[in-house]
Structure 1
Amino acid sequence: MIKIYLSRASSSSCRKARTWLINHQIPFKEIDINKTSEIPKKDFLHILSLTEAGLDDVIAKKSDIYKKLNIDFGDITLSEIHSLVNEHRALIKRPIIVDETHLQIGFNDDGIRQFIPRKYRTTQNSLFEQNLSENLYN
């Protein structure tokens, strides 16, 4: 199941990602990080496990709260980081779109296509190739 962690109130990237999933009829669970009681530690660790650069991919270093806290994340444990993220939701980038094996942070029209089920992508590719060959020979 695809989960999308977002902030519906303020982020155009969040709105674009949500709209894209809806328009492509891809089922997902929406988690508004400003309204949920917490991001479960298991989910947070799963997100980190799919990143290329770990916390650097997830933490919003340009956010006011990051600057205000002035914390060296290399000096604290993952449990402490998880607690900080739950206390200060603005610390994480949004949207975060994740399933069992895929992750996208932020909205990227090309990158989000990885969440289209393989069966559907295969059908789309076949139709594209068919249209391409018909156009080449007509």
Structure 2
Amino acid sequence: MHVLFIQYPSCSTCRKAKNWLAEHKIAFEDRHIVESTPTLEELTNFYQKSGLALKKFFNTSGLVYKELGLKDKLASMSEKEQLELLSSNGMLIKRPLLITDNTVLVGFKEADWSKALI
């Protein structure tokens, strides 16, 4: 199974998730969310595969989200506009992202990761 781990190295939750992967000896492809921000096509695929609400992909506690006033703007934006916005700045995306052949997880919840990977 191919595992893609998209993360931001300075993020404590990402570091915790990366350590969890190492502890469980799970091989993964590591990708920096800002240096290699997911494309519009990738994000559309992740979103559709996840079954989650698109809002779950936004880093709502991040500075960029707050600076852009997205709390009040997202509801009036189309799905395509939201996905384009996410693909324009990796700091807008909630992290880490874990992508496997049939699963997309947003954020790190140990129980969800265990279910998906172990």
TM-score range, shorter chain: 0.7 to 0.9
Report the equivalent of 2:56: 57
Q: Which has the higher contact order (CA 8 A, sep 6+)?
A: 2
Structure 1 spans left out of the alignment, 5+ residues? 122-138
The TM-score with structure 1 as length reference comes to 0.70
Report the equivalent of 1:129: none
The TM-score with structure 2 as length reference comes to 0.80
- In structure 1, C-alpha distance between the alignment counterparts of 2:108 and 2:74, rounded to whole Å: 25
- In structure 1, C-alpha distance between the alignment counterparts of 2:89 and 2:41, rounded to whole Å: 18
Report the RMSD for the aligned CA atoms in angstroms: 2.0
Map residues 1-138 of structure 1 onto 2, 5 A cutoff: 1-8=2-9, 10-36=10-36, 38-71=37-70, 72-116=73-117, 121=118
- In structure 2, C-alpha distance between the alignment counterparts of 1:83 and 1:103, rounded to whole Å: 19
Structure 2 spans left out of the alignment, 5+ residues? none
Q: How many correspondences in the alignment?
A: 115
- In structure 2, C-alpha distance between the alignment counterparts of 1:33 and 1:86, rounded to whole Å: 10
The answer (yes or no) to whether the contact 1:51–1:57 under 8 Å persists in 2 is no
Percent of counterpart pairs with the same letter? 22
- What amino acid is the match of 1:31? R
The answer (yes or no) to whether the contact 1:5–1:31 under 8 Å persists in 2 is yes
